[in-house]
């Protein structure tokens, strides 16, 4: 019997060329490129190409990918009808999970698990998920969905579909950088779920549905929403100290802090902290950055743990006008490229993922007929 490790912490379950995390040094690398360089110089579409193809694109290749994404953003009428049937009280992540599952029924290659078809489905899903999120947001407010535009990139197009207004270029670039930062992150829970599903040779939509269902949990993707709810509950910078000290005394979890892998600062948090400061100042909402910064000072001093990607992404998304309960769907709008890249990698060298469990229950019990049981 192999050694039992709760939560599979530190267990290597696959070999991957997609992203590398150095938890001690606080580094995140996509296909050899450091995340800080990509967040500064690249675009989400370019990062998608990199993760799917193993190299940065030429100008022609990037233009072609942008064109393919633009062509595939609009939802089939049948899928839009399904979205319209959802109760307006449904959690957005539940709506996204169900819509992605339903999207398979309208995909002409739904059951084709070949690498070639799966690559095309990766593009379609990456294009469609932001449209699904924006459409459901408008439908639950009693408004009609806005058709996507072909002349806007992924981030700008999402903001346009949510509001009907072409976004400020700086705001669109901020969301684009957020998408870059969250595009992949090793063998996290949702990625592992996608690879387990793919290992059975289930289709791409099934794998991504598994990933979205996993991301929905507050210990994974849902932490960004919980972090913003904490900021809103605190409300003002001068209330931070009492709130955090009381929370720590009561041993409550401070959402957005700590990470299973990083033993120093999450490199994505480094970028997002700066983005939060710049955006909050620009939007006249500096209190959210001030509250966040003071929380970080108290928690890192008292608990010796650092903010993760969820903490500062909360204030970034909030000042961009993203509703709080859409924070985790926005995570999915980014991570879809990482999930699909892992699906492609799993398919390229597949073996059914079948770990064992250590049985710790009773053995050799004697069966007692039901009429003789006390």
Residues marked active site are found at 220, 259, 310
β-strand partners of 362? none
Tokens, residue 315: 């204030």
- Whole-number Å distance between alpha carbons of 33 and 35: 6
| Distance (Å, whole) CA 272 – CA 312 | 6
Structure tokens at 340: 């699909």
To 5 degrees, how large is the angle CA 245–CA 249–CA 252? 95
* Residues linked to residue 307 through DSSP beta bridges, in sequence order: 257
CA distances from 103 to 98, 100, 146, 159, 339 (A): 9, 5, 19, 22, 17
Q: What are the CA-CA distances from residue 111 to residues 85, 89, 117, 178, 313 (Å)?
A: 25, 32, 9, 32, 36
Query: What CA–CA distance (Å, rounded) separates 229 from 325?
Result: 10
């Amino acid at each position: 019997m192999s050694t039992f490790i709760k939560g599979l912490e530190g267990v290597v379950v696959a070999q991957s060329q997609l992203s590398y995390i150095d938890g001690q040094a606080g580094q995140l690398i996509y296909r050899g490129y450091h995340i800080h360089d990509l967040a500064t110089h690249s675009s989400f579409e370019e990062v998608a190409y990199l993760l799917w193809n193993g190299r940065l694109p030429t100008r022609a290749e990037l233009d072609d990918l942008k064109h393919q994404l633009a062509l595939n953003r609009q939802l089939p009428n049948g899928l839009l009808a399904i979205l319209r049937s959802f109760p307006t009280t449904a959690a957005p992540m539940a709506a996204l999970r169900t819509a992605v599952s339903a999207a398979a029924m309208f995909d002409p290659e739904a059951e084709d698990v070949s690498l070639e078809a799966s690559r095309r489905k990766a593009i379609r899903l990456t294009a469609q998920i932001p449209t699904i999120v924006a459409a459901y947001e408008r439908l639950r407010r009693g408004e009609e969905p806005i058709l996507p535009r072909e002349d806007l990139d992924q981030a700008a197009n999402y903001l346009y579909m949510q509001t009907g207004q072409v976004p400020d270029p700086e705001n669109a670039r901020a969301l684009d950088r957020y998408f870059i930062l969250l595009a992949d992150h090793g063998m996290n829970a949702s990625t592992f779920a996608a690879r387990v599903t793919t290992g059975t040779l289930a289709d791409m939509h099934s794998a991504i549905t598994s990933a979205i269902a996993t991301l929905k949990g507050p210990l994974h993707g849902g932490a960004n929403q919980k972090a913003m709810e904490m900021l809103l509950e605190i409300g003002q910078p001068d209330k931070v100290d009492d709130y955090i000290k009381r929370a720590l005394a009561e041993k409550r979890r401070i959402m957005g802090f700590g990470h299973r892998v990083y033993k120093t600062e999450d490199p994505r948090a480094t970028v997002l902290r700066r983005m939060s400061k710049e955006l909050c100042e620009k939007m006249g909402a500096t209190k959210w950055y001030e509250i966040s910064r003071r929380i970080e000072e108290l928690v890192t001093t008292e608990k010796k743990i650092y903010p993760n990607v969820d903490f500062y992404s909360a204030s970034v998304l909030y000042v961009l006008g993203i509703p709080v309960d859409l924070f985790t769907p926005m995570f999915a709008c980014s991570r879809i490229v990482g999930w699909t890249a892992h699906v492609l990698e799993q398919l390229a060298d597949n073996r059914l993922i079948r770990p064992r469990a250590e049985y710790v229950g009773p053995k050799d019990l004697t069966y007692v007929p039901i009429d003789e049981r006390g």
